[in-house]
Amino acid sequence: MPIALLNGRVLRGKALVEGMCVLIEDGRILAVAPEGDTACRDAAPRDLGGHVLLPGFIDIQVNGGGGVLFNDAPTVEAIRQIGHAHRRFGTCGFLPTLISTDLDVVAQAIAAARQAMACGVPGVLGIHIEGPFLNVERKGVHDPAKLRELDTSAVGLLASLSSGITVVTLAPEMTTPQIIRRLADAGVIVSAGHTNATYAQIVEALHHGLRGFTHLFNAMSPLTSREPGTVGAALEDRSSWCGVIADGEHIAPAVLRLAMRCKPLSRFMLVTDAMPGVGTDARSFKLQGREITVSGPVCLDEDGRLAGSNIDMASCVRNAIALLGLPLAEAVRMASLYPAQFLGLAHELGRIEPGYRANLVLADDDLNVLETWIDGEPSR
């Protein structure tokens, strides 16, 4: 029997709409209609208590959560635990993210993502491979011993998922424009990150299929007066997407407000870059043998360098409203529709519309998550 979600304020377009029924069945949204509609009367009712119903959040950069780091355990069970931890904060779709490592571990992680999707692990959409094809000059906390150039020998591996989405973060100067084109033609979404590329190198990469920028401003050549760098190229290009960590620490809010004046807001996506502490009370963890400390919304290594975040997507949305001055609808789109567009999934995710997958978030007025649905299945 279809389920009718009633007595909620449903985000549609730019407004919260009252008096609407969201009808779901077999993992999809059948209809969004007035509550008195015949189809809604014939369905099993679920009272939302007047709370806010939002499209499910999509996080394209999730290193860990629930005490698990994907690098330490590139397995189906690890993906399940990470997804479960982030679901409590509204993440209904995510890419488990592998930090620079050896290629045999990359192969294990891809196999785990493939199996996780095949056996229906809730929310997993594919995989994000962040490195090892990065520039040591912008390595951040990535292990320099793992970094390498990308040649043709690894293209087949990176394109081997076969189902779901693969995002690869690389430094364009660590490979060739032709290899970037081969990856893009194979269906891989290529994103620039941990890069010291010049403006000209990024522009050429964009012409060869580069589609996005990983954690904009962080670990990339900056915008300067005579060399626009990666940041300048990213902000000038109106077609590419930029992932941003809205924790108030990775990017100063004023800098991010300025960045969002340079290109359409629809090209900015909220990401967490989350580490294992999300969903736990842990104050430290190990990353490739190094001690990482949780400090508020960020994680720091022994030298005080940023090592990912300890933030969730609901908090990112709240920060987009409080720190960036965005309206609720725009902040939510940065966490749902825009990442869906980046991944090529906007035909089925990111909106509350008939035919879309029933990935939904119920939240109170402070955006505390009360319940989620992934493919129509409620959280438990």
Q: Are residues 15 and 118 in the same domain?
A: no
The enclosing H or E element of 76 equals helix 76-87
Q: What is the DSSP letter of 45?
A: E
Residue 349 covered by a domain: no
Q: Are residues 22 and 71 in the same domain?
A: no
pLDDT tens column, 85-110: 999 999 999 999 999 999 999 999 99
Q: Report which residue type is found at 346.
A: A
Q: Are residues 363 and 233 in the same domain?
A: no
pLDDT tens column, 325-341: 999 999 999 999 999 99
Q: Are residues 139 and 79 in the same domain?
A: yes
Q: Are residues 276 and 365 in the same domain?
A: no
Residue found by looking up tokens 């493939």 in the block: 114
Q: How far apart are the first and last CA of the chain?
A: 20
Q: Are residues 23 and 88 in the same domain?
A: no
Residue 283 covered by a domain: yes
273 is catalytic: yes
- What is the model's pTM? 0.97
Q: Are residues 22 and 123 in the same domain?
A: no
Q: What is the C-alpha to C-alpha distance for residues 106 and 125, in angstroms, rounded to an integer?
A: 17
Domain count, the chain: 2
pLDDT at 100: 98
Residue 347 covered by a domain: no
pLDDT tens column, 336-367: 999 999 999 999 999 999 999 999 999 999 99
Q: What is the C-alpha to C-alpha distance for residues 368 and 206, in angstroms, rounded to an integer?
A: 38
Q: Are residues 47 and 64 in the same domain?
A: no
In sequence order, which ranges of 163-275 are alpha helices (DSSP H)?
A: 177-185, 199-207, 229-236, 253-259
Which parts of the chain have pLDDT scores under 50?
none
Residue 65 covered by a domain: yes
Q: Are residues 98 and 115 in the same domain?
A: yes
Which domain range does residue 45 map to? 3-54+354-378
pLDDT at 39: 84
Q: Are residues 29 and 106 in the same domain?
A: no
Sign of CA dihedral 86, 27, 349, 5: negative
Q: What is the C-alpha to C-alpha distance for residues 251 and 272, in angstroms, rounded to an integer?
A: 12
- Which is nearest to 318 in space by CA: 273, 370, 359, 369? 369
Identified catalytic residue from 59, 237, 247, 273: 273
